[in-house]
Structures are given as structure tokens and as C-alpha cells.
Amino acid sequence: MITIGNKPADTAAISSEYPANSLERVIINTLAASSKTYNYATKERLQFELKLRREIVNAAEELYRSHLKFRTFYNSIRNEDYWIRKPDGGFALRPDVKPSDAIRDIYSNSHKYGTECATAMLMVYYKALLEVFPEEAFNKIFRDIYLMNWHRIEPELREVSLMQSTYDHLPGDRRYFRNPDVNPETPEWQGENVIDLGGGFYYGHGIGRYMAPMFIDSLNQNRIAYADESAYLLDSVGRPNFDRLFSLYQKYSATASSVSA
């Protein structure tokens, strides 16, 4: 169930603010039907999460339609006008460019980029945040973007790197398909980071936009000989700290009180 300020929320009224069959309604209905109580300090806090989750899904869908290449860290490529490629294959933001311009370039010049699935997840989250936060605020908060994996992530997004158990799976969650019997000659197929798009679909860079069986089948094709354990979808999720991000939004945006779809 959903509570706001520790009081039961009028979920029907909140849901009516969004189009029928919208992602927001799917999320509200899932939370409202849950055995877990989801308490939000204010209605605006809930609206912020709904908006950010929608933008995460939008950014994932857009990256899926882009020309971003799948590359290992050893062979990663980037637009050198915005990013410095480091020896580990990660991309460090150039000090002379705006973070917002660099993130947008990934989407507008995707053919100049190539990396693996974890880095693609970070691209998705930063693009979503850029759509939610005012550009000036985004550039102040995310000044030291490093795109690689979960080891050098900025503090504001560190929870995305931590898989946690959950009662419910929601669009915008990071999920992970694990391949326990991966072929050691292709370690990049040890698993696949994906974004939950809702409706049973996931986006994972290198495989695509599919339902779970396709990801499992793709990973199973990259196992050791005589493997006897199938790839599978972990039940846990990675989620940004929506409370922290909303606090930052309130701090930097004069219009935080009017966040809505």
C-alpha cells in the first residue's frame, strides 16, 4: 500500500492524474497492491519518483534505438570531444565540457561510442536525471562523471550499484541476469545488466529489448561445455536513492513543488 505522511494515500485520485495504461499508473497500482507499505513524506516526493522512473525507461528505450556499439572495456570507444578514455576502458568527463552536453552527445552521436552493459546502464540513469533536473542543477551535481561500471560511480547514484531484495519489481529498476556457467573465454557474458521497462520487457545493451527468456537463451549460448546450470534473472534490484535525489532536486530547483507528469 501507499501512504503519504504516514496516512493512506488516495491512490485512485493520484492515478487519475496520469493517462490510462501509462507507466505511472502501472507503478502506482503495483505499489498500492503490495503487501509492503511504501511511505512517502509528500505527494511531490511520490510524483518525483514516478517522473524519474518514467525517464529511466524513456532513456533506456532511446539507447536501445541508438547506434551504441557493444564493446568490451579493452575495445571501448567514445567521442573524444567530450570524454577521455582511461586505461581501464572507462570514460572520464573532459574538464572543459558541460556534463549535460557530454551526456546528450552519447545519444545524438551514439555511433561514436562502444562499451558493455554496465556502462550503458549508467548512460541511461544520467540521461534520465538530465531530463528531470534543471540543466544548471544537473551540471552542478554531476561534475565528475566517470562512465564504466559500479566501482567508480558518483555518490548520488551509488545505490544503483547495490543489488537489494525487494517486495516488488518496478519499471526503471536495474535487474541482472546471471550466467553462472559462463565460458571463461567470454567473461563479458557472465551476466547482463538490464533496465526493467515494464510489461515483462527489459533492455540490456548487447542483447537488446526482449522478455526474460531471450536474455536467458542468449547467455546460455555462452556457457562452458557440458554446462548444467542455466542463466537466470536475479530477484534483487538496483535502485537510485530517490529520497536523496529528491532532496537535491528541491535544493536546486525552485519549481520542485510542482513536479508532475
pLDDT of residue 253: 75
Q: Is the pLDDT of residue 236 over 70?
A: yes
Q: Is the pLDDT of residue 255 over 50?
A: no
Q: Is the pLDDT of residue 96 over 70?
A: yes
Would you give the distance in Å from CA 108 to the centre of its chain?
19
Average confidence (pLDDT) over 121-138 = 97
pLDDT 10s digits, 158-186: 999 999 999 999 999 999 999 999 999 99
Average confidence (pLDDT) over 117-145 = 96
**Contact indicator for 233, 176 with CB cutoff of 8 Å:** yes
φ/ψ bin of 209: left (φ > 0), alpha (ψ from -120 to 50), beta (otherwise):
beta
Give the chain's mean pLDDT. 94
pLDDT band at 152 (very low <50, low <70, confident <90, very high): confident
Could you tell me what percent of the chain has a pLDDT over 90?
A: 92
Q: Is the pLDDT of residue 83 over 80?
A: yes
pLDDT 10s digits, 133-147: 999 999 999 999 999
pLDDT of residue 134: 95
**Contact indicator for 209, 224 with CB cutoff of 8 Å:** no
Say whether 65 sits in a helix, a strand or coil: coil
DSSP string, 192-247: EEEEEEETTEEEETTTEEEEHHHHHHHHHTTB-TT--S--EE-S-BB---HHHHHH
Average confidence (pLDDT) over 190-204 = 97
Give the residue extent of every domain in the chain: 2-258
pLDDT 10s digits, 38-62: 999 999 999 999 999 999 999 999 9
pLDDT of residue 254: 60
Average confidence (pLDDT) over 224-245 = 96
